[in-house]
A and B are shown apart, each in its own frame.
Chain A
Amino acid sequence: MNDYQYDHQTVKGFIVSSIFWGVVGILIGLWISVQMWKPEFNVPPFFTFGRLRVVHTNSLAFGLGIGAIFGISYYIAMRLTKRPLVFPKLARFHLYLFNAAIALAALSLFAGMNQTLEYAELEWPLDIGVVILWVIFAVNIFGTIIKRKDEQMYISLWYIIATVIAVAVLYIVNNLAVPASLTKSYSLFAGVNSANVQWWYGHNAVGFVFTTPILAMFYYFLPKSTGLPIYSHRLSIIAFWSLVFAYLWTGAHHLVYTPLPDWIQTLAIVFTLFLIAPSWGSVINGYYTVGTDWNKMQTHYLTKFFILGITFYGLQTVQGPTQAIRVVSQLIHYTDWVPGHVHMGTMGWVTMTTAASIYYIIPKIYGTEIYSIKAANVHFWLVLIGQLMFSITMWITGIQQGALWKATNADGSLKYTFMEGLVKNYPFWQLRTVAGVIFTVGMLFFIYNISMTIRKGKALAASRA
């Protein structure tokens, strides 16, 4: 077996694992979405909403998201440096450790071992495991880049490097804690200060897990799959630096109107609004790239995945900054508007772009074609409909909730009790479950398509041998 083939097995391993954890997370997503309108679906002690929701977010952000990021980044790094990974065995170990860590993470969260820091729920022994995972990744990525045959580093590599650095700093700082036992610790930070540290982390987890590595994929696979060069290299440069600079200032937009000092909130809001510019730099770059030949949207099935993906990214990066403004935050903070925003990013941008990258990689690895373009198109439309329905219903609920909470009678007293407001969410929450089912069916088409492609590839390899 040659080096590339060995490494590609590792890449494939990450992709298959990430899909597996994705399925787990999505099914739990459906489950909690039902719990929200039918509390009978809570099964204590392990399967109540409070515990399942974190299993949902962790298995998707860390299992699906980071699994795909590890695998696809390895692939991109090899292609762009024109050499195999420096430490192929380490990469294979990385894959096994990754799966062990996610499995333990899920079990520990079911068991309620939870630091209650959003997106950093795992208790300290697992945190150490996560840090080891990133160190292995960093060693392999940097090693491969340093030993590269090619001189210039392409944009995708910049984003991958920035991801590794930022995640290292963020993850370690936010998880600093004093253990009280193997399964319980207390954060090093307290009160207002811990809130500030957590959301500095939390927002940049979005920034450096759901944004920069996905942009790395976008910048690599869009030109590769369409054969069209990126519109402007200069725009990518400015967008890159201003994005990684501004992101770190914005965490406090999750804490608007809390007791956090006003100046930190204000500074965060300022940089949050500014983020529209670098984000849209990438969006515009994507549009203009395909803009030289819009026919590609019809003639090449992957183009529409990338273009819709970046469109959702564009919508996210207008929506997100808007949410940070004080008057808007007053209305939508704490409401279902936020899950609407979240899932447009995760289901629309992250999952769409990742899936398209996988459609590109898997046939490439086996030297074959995708099993069925038709199935990929069905996947596309179902996921698109499911995601739009999810976000739109949640936006409506969110605005309604916010408005009901604020509504007053002529004499100034509140118009609605909490329960009167809650009851109005139920029809929308039910629709959200339907949206989730549509999305899930779409993902099943994707999984079927990929597994058939792998089977086809294997048969081909066997016949060649």
Chain B
Amino acid sequence: MTEDFDSTNIEDFEAKDTARKLPIGWLILFWGLILWGIYYFVMYSPSISGWTQEKAYHESVKK
């Protein structure tokens, strides 16, 4: 006895919906975060922008 007692087939679900387009809001989020990531990486990488947390500290105590 190896019958499957689940009546609905999940695979059928898949076949039906594959055609759907990705939600536009989500796509904006996806690409937006990548762009932001590039910006942030450039701004806060010592070898690119020269920023380091130690320098930032010393500046904050100088005043």
Contact = CB atoms under 8 A, between A and B. Distances in A.
B17 A263 contact: no
Contacts of B34: 274
Given A79-B4, A79-B6, A262-B45, A277 B40 contact: no
A367 B45 CA distance: 59
Contacts of A367: 5
B1 A262 contact: no
A158 interface: no
Interface string A367-410: 10000000000000000000000000000000000000000000
- Choose among B4, B12, B21 the residue with the greatest number of A CB atoms under 10 Å from its CB: B4
A280 interface: yes
Contacts of B13: 223, 229-230
Interface stretch (A10-18, A40-48, A233-241, A435-443): A233-241
A263 to B, nearest CB: 5
A328 to B, nearest CB: 13
A189 interface: no
A266 interface: yes
A274 B17 contact: no
Contacts, number: 100
Contact of B44 (A82, A227, A262, A273): A262
B47 A271 contact: no
Interface residues on B, range: 35 or more
B45 A263 contact: yes
B10 A223 contact: yes
B20 A262 contact: no
Interface in B19-53: 20-23, 26, 29-30, 33-34, 36-38, 40-41, 44-47, 51-53
Contacts of B14: 152, 154, 229-230, 233
B11 interface: yes
A181 interface: no
A239 to B, nearest CB: 9
A232 B20 contact: yes
Given A80-B10, A280-B29, A266 B2 contact: no
Contacts of A234: 18, 20-22
In the A-B complex, list the 9 residue pairs whose CB atoms are closest, starting with the nearest.
A229-B13, A270-B37, A277-B30, A266-B44, A232-B20, A233-B18, A2-B1, A274-B33, A262-B46
Interface of A: 2-4, 79-80, 82-84, 150, 152, 154, 220, 223-224, 227, 229-235, 238, 242, 257, 262-263, 265-267, 269-271, 273-274, 276-277, 280-281, 284, 288, 326, 364, 367
25 contacts: A4-B1, A4-B2, A79-B6, A152-B14, A154-B11, A223-B13, A224-B10, A230-B14, A231-B20, A232-B22, A234-B20, A235-B22, A238-B22, A238-B30, A262-B46, A263-B46, A266-B44, A269-B44, A270-B37, A273-B36, A273-B37, A274-B34, A276-B29, A280-B26, A367-B5
Given A230-B13, A238-B30, A281-B26, 17 more contacts: A4-B1, A79-B6, A83-B2, A152-B11, A154-B10, A154-B14, A220-B10, A229-B12, A229-B16, A232-B20, A233-B18, A257-B53, A263-B47, A266-B45, A269-B44, A273-B36, A326-B44
